[in-house]
Structure 1
Amino acid sequence: MNNPPATPSAGGVQPLTGQVLFYQQPQPLSPEEHGGLGVKQISDPFGFLRQAHAVPVTVTEFGLAAASYPIIFVGNERTPVAVMGVRQGENLFVDAQGRVPDDHYVPAFVRRYPFVFAADDASDRLVLCVDRAAPMVSNQPEVPFFENGQPTKFTNDAVEFCKEFERQRRATADFVKMLTDLDLMEQKTVAFQPRDAQGNPVGDQQKIADYYAISEERLNALPDDKYLELRNNGAVGACYAHLVSLLNWPKIIQRAMRVQAAEAPAAV
């Protein structure tokens, strides 16, 4: 896909296919279909994130995300994700008011919502779309998408943000390919031991996830020329940020256990 992303325009775009996390009703943004729409402040700003226990991150975010979450690689494409929960459908970092604590990083994948780029197969371009079902999208907006048929500054800023996200997504794919070509990935498993209120083991260990991670041993064993190649590509810092991020596993498990303990009386 070599053509540049498209800015909001008239209709004619083919229906979208596929699913992306969070997006329930993505539609190509156009003044004809969305001229009266925009966004408004809502009381539950990150409510849509509440059921996502893992969120994709780009390689440029590793340093920031590593301070808060384990970063792991998942699936056949070994997509890097920030782990925000240990149970499917449960995010441990979204509070009852739909907010993420100020001292925890919010990935760009989340911050771009309700916008997303989608492929228009007819023109081989990326088209800006909006999730029409997003709670902040309104027909009584505080900030409109269009004025006099033209994108507002807010919409143009959204286009630029999504363009940058797409560039970083492609850079991340290149980073993962580099790691794969150098055979730096290894499979890992993380589990935890349930304990009672007195700290005594209860039942069997519970597996949280199977995932891929960079092998520090393989990284350190790279020939000098291959290590320099990684360094010159700016990849070494991201590799070590990922390795450091894995130290967050105990923290996120403890956070999950605190949540479960708080839920226990209500379940009785």
Structure 2
Amino acid sequence: MADATPSANAAVSGNLPLYNNPVPLNKDRHKGKGLKFSDRQFDFLKDTHFVPVTFGEFGSVASRFPILFLGENKTAVAAMGLRKGQNLFVDPQTGRFEQFTYLPAFVRRYPFVSASHGQEKDRFTVCVDEGSDLYSDKPDVHFFDDKGELTDFTQRAIDYVRRFEADVRQTQEFTARCEELGLLTQQESKFQPRNEKGEPVGEPQVVATYFGIDGGKLMELDTETFAGLRNNGYLGGMYAAMLSQLNWDPLIQRAAAQDTAQAAQA
């Protein structure tokens, strides 16, 4: 259940990428407020090098980004850069996201977010990031109408947040099952420097350390367990996460090209 009114028990947990000052949506506090859009619509994403992703979008995410599992909770994320402050899919000149590239649901939800109600897992309050450049007192779209009712825009946003929360719970269940079966192991992505002739130069450099699906351990599962993963749909997500690792080389090449271009402009 989603609320568009504040609660004393509502809290945004963790340190979420993108968000600066999420505040419960409230018809009094946010009267006359809303979102104002500009041509540089993805400036808010340009300094974020990874974003959380949900299980249901693994297939789409894997078409362009490596899927990693990070932190104590093994949060699934898409890598969009190689270091903090770098997003290789947002044009720094225009603030636009790369055309024809899948945009994760976490980004599409912004600047809205949910705040949990303690142990009440099925209840949450919808918040808006007042620290966002999109937040405005001279908006293109309002949060509430003149009667204090939710606008159609805000209602659609709340519905989207509700669906996203359901997807997050599914992802947590998937990750928990992977951990239970010992399928998440620490992995590394490495880059081999080469000279102009394409010959290796020096030792490979570690680009990232993270947890990922271990294909070897997956193949070692007994027939019944493997069939269970196939029947509940988890197997497809595991294969998508493993195949997404092929995106490391293109990502590294993007970073190198960007560094070269920036050096030439300096």
Q: Deviations over 1:65-103 (max 9, x none)?
A: 000111111112111110101122101000121111122
Contact 1:38–1:140, Cα closer than 8 Å, also in 2 = yes
Whole-angstrom CA distance in 2 between matches of 1:193 and 1:165: 38
Partner in structure 1 of residue 61 of structure 2 = 65
Contact 2:10–2:116, Cα closer than 8 Å, also in 1 = no
3-state SS, counterpart of residue 193 of structure 2: coil
Alpha-carbon RMSD across the aligned residues, in angstroms, is: 2.0
Whichever residue aligns with residue 205 of structure 1, its letter is P
Residue among 122, 130, 133 paired with 1:132? 130
CA apart distance, 1:121: 4.4
Whichever residue aligns with residue 216 of structure 1, its letter is G
1:206-217 alignment runs, 5 A limit = 206-217=205-216
Partner in structure 2 of residue 261 of structure 1 = 260
Whole-angstrom CA distance in 2 between matches of 1:154 and 1:178: 37
Partner in structure 2 of residue 97 of structure 1 = 94
Whole-angstrom CA distance in 2 between matches of 1:87 and 1:178: 30
1:13 equivalent to 2:8? Answer: yes
Partner in structure 1 of residue 107 of structure 2 = 110
1:24 equivalent to 2:20? Answer: yes
Whole-angstrom CA distance in 1 between matches of 2:130 and 2:29: 10
1:1-268 alignment runs, 5 A limit = 4-6=1-3, 8-9=4-5, 11=6, 13=8, 16=11, 18-95=14-91, 96-121=93-118, 125-147=123-145, 148-195=147-194, 199=198, 204-267=203-266
3-state SS, counterpart of residue 92 of structure 1: coil
Q: Deviations over 1:144-203 (max 9, x none)?
A: 110110001111111110111111101000000111111112211112133455645555
Whichever residue aligns with residue 231 of structure 1, its letter is R
TM-score, normalization by structure 2: 0.92
TM-score, normalization by structure 1: 0.91
How many pairs does the alignment contain?
A: 262
Whole-angstrom CA distance in 2 between matches of 1:116 and 1:212: 26
Contact 1:13–1:28, Cα closer than 8 Å, also in 2 = no
Contact 2:18–2:44, Cα closer than 8 Å, also in 1 = yes
Contact 1:16–1:27, Cα closer than 8 Å, also in 2 = no
Whole-angstrom CA distance in 2 between matches of 1:151 and 1:242: 38
CA apart distance, 1:5: 2.4
Whichever residue aligns with residue 105 of structure 2, its letter is A
| % same residue | 40
3-state SS, counterpart of residue 37 of structure 2: coil
Unaligned runs of 5+ in 1: none
Q: Deviations over 1:204-241 (max 9, x none)?
A: 53321111111112112211110111112111111111
Whole-angstrom CA distance in 1 between matches of 2:50 and 2:217: 26
Distance 1:184 1:69, change over 3 A: same
Distance 1:12 1:64, change over 3 A: closer
Whole-angstrom CA distance in 1 between matches of 2:73 and 2:159: 26
Whichever residue aligns with residue 252 of structure 1, its letter is L
Distance 1:16 1:178, change over 3 A: closer
3-state SS, counterpart of residue 135 of structure 1: coil
Whichever residue aligns with residue 169 of structure 1, its letter is V
Distance 1:123 1:254, change over 3 A: closer
Contact 2:10–2:118, Cα closer than 8 Å, also in 1 = no
